[in-house]
Structure 1
Amino acid sequence: MPSISRIRSLSYLASHATRIAEELVMNVTPFFITRDGKACMVIENVKQFREKESLIAALKIMALGEKDRMQGKDISAAESRAQLAAARQRRK
């Protein structure tokens, strides 16, 4: 549940965008924006957004790897190292 102090209306956002942007620099807690009393968007700072996107990408890679493992497409650590070494050699 978001903190009440971080919930703002869409009209507040429209008239105080600069203030919200400044607050996001100082405090990484996102703002929850409402329209007609219902949540319609979340505004967060860029650093927090990038960190979250990186985490999502890492989780997707892990999920794809697990899917491959479950389908018997996995390889050993030694095979993986050999593939990486071969790829590095091809780039040179």
Structure 2
Amino acid sequence: MRLSTRIRPISYLKANAAEILSDIAENRQPMVITQNGEAKAVLQDVASFDQAQETLAMLKLLALGQQDIEAGRTRSARDVAGRLRAKARRGND
């Protein structure tokens, strides 16, 4: 995707809003809106936005996990499994 081909001035957005929204939803490609020649906003379909937010959340979790590893805040899989089994036994009593 070449974002440079999807740049439109705000006047174009005002005059063609329905067409732009249809295009964005159909092609799932964002559009940059300019004002006075300067990029001011990016229009994106909801599905792509949701996907990007989920991706960012996953990346944040990975970064937090990496920080835990670097700080030594880890447990072995054997230790975790043992704790889970012990907890399950207590729950069954």
* Normalised TM-score (structure 1): 0.80
Please report the RMSD computed on the Cα atoms of aligned residues, expressed in angstroms.
Answer: 2.3
Shift of 1:82: 5.1
Report Cα offsets for 1:14-67 as digits up to 9, x if no partner.
Answer: 221111110012101100100111111101111110110000000000000110
Please list every run of 5 or more consecutive structure 1 residues that lacks an aligned counterpart in the other structure. none
Does 2:9 match 1:21?
no
Aligned length: 88
* Normalised TM-score (structure 2): 0.80
What is the rounded CA distance, in whole Å, between the counterparts of 1:65 and 1:35 in structure 2?
Answer: 41
What is the rounded CA distance, in whole Å, between the counterparts of 1:38 and 1:84 in structure 2?
Answer: 56
Shift of 1:83: 5.7
Please list every run of 5 or more consecutive structure 2 residues that lacks an aligned counterpart in the other structure. none
Letter in 1 for 2:54: S
Structure 2 partner of 1:2: 3
What is the rounded CA distance, in whole Å, between the counterparts of 2:84 and 2:4 in structure 1?
Answer: 47
Structure 1 partner of 2:60: 60
Identity of aligned residues (%): 34
Check 1:10–1:80 CA distance in 2 against 1; reply closer, same or farther (3 A cut). farther
